[in-house]
Amino acid sequence: MKHESILVIGGSGFIGSHIVAGLSARGRRVIVPTRRLTRARHLWVLPTVQVVETDVFDPQALDRVLAQSDAVINLVGVLHSRPGTPWGPAFERAHVELPRRLVAACQRQAVRRCLHMCALGADLHGPSMYQRSKAEGERIMLDAAGLEVTSFRPSVVFGPEDNFLNMFARLQSLLPVLALGGLQAKFQPVYVSDVAHAFINALDDSTTIGKVYELTGPRVYSMKELLHLAGIYSGHPRPVIGLPDALARIQACFLEHVPGGPLMSRDNLDSMKSDNVASGHYPFPADWRPTPLEAVAPHYLSGR
Ligand SMILES: NC(=O)c1ccc[n+]([C@@H]2O[C@H](COP(=O)([O-])OP(=O)(O)OC[C@H]3O[C@@H](n4cnc5c(N)ncnc54)[C@H](OP(=O)(O)O)[C@@H]3O)[C@@H](O)[C@H]2O)c1
């Protein structure tokens, strides 16, 4: 079935903006709810895209945007929360409560097709609150009666507007030397356009219903290698020194409280206790040919 009108919750963000632009380029009508219209100003100019200021946690508001849609993509996610067991309040709200409300609204509005954004390494028993809450949100979506759900688990995502290689580059342009924990942690970064294509291709493909896909790039890197590459590509390579775990936790505790939001948290360090690489437990999408980081990152980092 071809889905013509798609609600993209979290469509104003880094990955969402690529998915929304791709859907618009294919002539699909897209509704993007946002908490603040100005957050999505880059989407205003796209034909077929309607940005609406809406609280998606309000059942009536969610019903209103769903009533105009025949499919929904949920991309809402946060990286930090105050602590809690099994996860903190911000993770509960974004990763667990929203999927619960979305399932109920889809059932009320008879919108069956849902694409859901989880994350590589999501695990109900994982070491971090982020991983545990992401796994619970995915479970809620996949178990929902009457819904046709596909879930995606990307590794860390790179692209011109990423908050990952760009942050590594920015830190190296500001500091003479970097001292960080978790340098041995492994990642398999994936390009944002590849992630967007995986979502768009799955939308009308009924063979993806009920499935979970991992989205990873072609190569595994340690955190230290990624820092090194970001430094080289941006023209500010700096020495990188590994911190022992105890010092890294003290540093993260400090970075949780920097003005403008946490740069890094103790929960991020907990996430890095398990390597963020393809597990082999879930398939890749059909025809998955991921773009190498080396083909893209030098171009956008060199402009920094
Ligand atoms: N980036 C990565 O490397 C990566 C890797 C694996 C998985 N993921 C997952 O992919 C998804 C998108 O990531 P991203 O990097 O594109 O994130 P992002 O740029 O931070 O965008 C997040 C989006 O979620 C919305 N949002 C956040 N908290 C919300 C809340 N409490 N209520 C309503 N809306 C909220 C924001 O909407 P408004 O601010 O406009 O309201 C924004 O559009 C997330 O679920 C993330 O966990 C990302």
Q: Which residue owns the Cα nearest ligand 1 atom 18? A: 13
Give the pLDDT band (50/70/90) at residue 122: very high
At 68 the pLDDT is 96
Q: pLDDT for 35-81, tens place per residue?
A: 999 999 999 999 999 999 999 999 999 999 999 999 999 999 999 99
At 304 the pLDDT is 65
Residue 297: pLDDT over 80: yes
In angstroms, the Cα distances linking 180 to 83, 105, 245 are 22, 43, 9
Ligand 1 pocket by Cβ (under 6 Å): 10, 12-16, 34-35, 39-40, 56, 75-78, 93-94, 117, 119, 154, 156-157, 164
Q: What percent of the chain has pLDDT over 90?
A: 96
At 261 the pLDDT is 79
Give the pLDDT band (50/70/90) at residue 111: very high
pLDDT higher for 204 or 260?
Answer: 204
Phi/psi-derived region of residue 269, left when phi > 0, alpha when psi is between -120 and 50, beta in every other case:
alpha
Please state, rounded to an integer, the average pLDDT across all residues of the chain. Answer: 96
Give CA–CA dist 125/164, Å, rounded.
26
Give the three-class secondary structure for 1: coil
Structure tokens at 280: 């082999």
Beta bridge partners of 73: 8, 115
Best mutation site among 35, 56, 81 for ligand 1, i.e. most ligand atoms within 8 A of its Cβ?
35
Q: Which residue owns the Cα nearest ligand 1 atom 47? A: 77
Task: Give me Rg for the CA atoms of the chain.
Answer: 19
Give CA–CA dist 40/5, Å, rounded.
18
Q: Which residue owns the Cα nearest ligand 1 atom 22? A: 13
At 1 the pLDDT is 87
Yes or no: say if 128 and 267 are a contact pair by the CB < 8 Å rule.
yes
Best mutation site among 43, 49, 76 for ligand 1, i.e. most ligand atoms within 8 A of its Cβ?
76
CA–centroid distance, 280 to ligand 1, in Å, is: 25
Question: What backbone phi and psi angles, to 5 degrees, belong to 268?
Answer: -60, -40
Give CA–CA dist 240/175, Å, rounded.
11
Atom of ligand 1 nearest to the CA of 163: 1
Yes or no: say if 121 and 75 are a contact pair by the CB < 8 Å rule.
no
- Tell the residue number behind the tokens 């700096």, with chain if given: 238
Beta bridge partners of 9: 74
Residue 69's Cβ-count burial label (10 Å; 0-12, 13-18, 19+) is buried
Residue 154: pLDDT over 80: yes
CA–centroid distance, 171 to ligand 1, in Å, is: 22
At 247 the pLDDT is 96
CA–centroid distance, 76 to ligand 1, in Å, is: 4
Atom of ligand 1 nearest to the CA of 77: 45
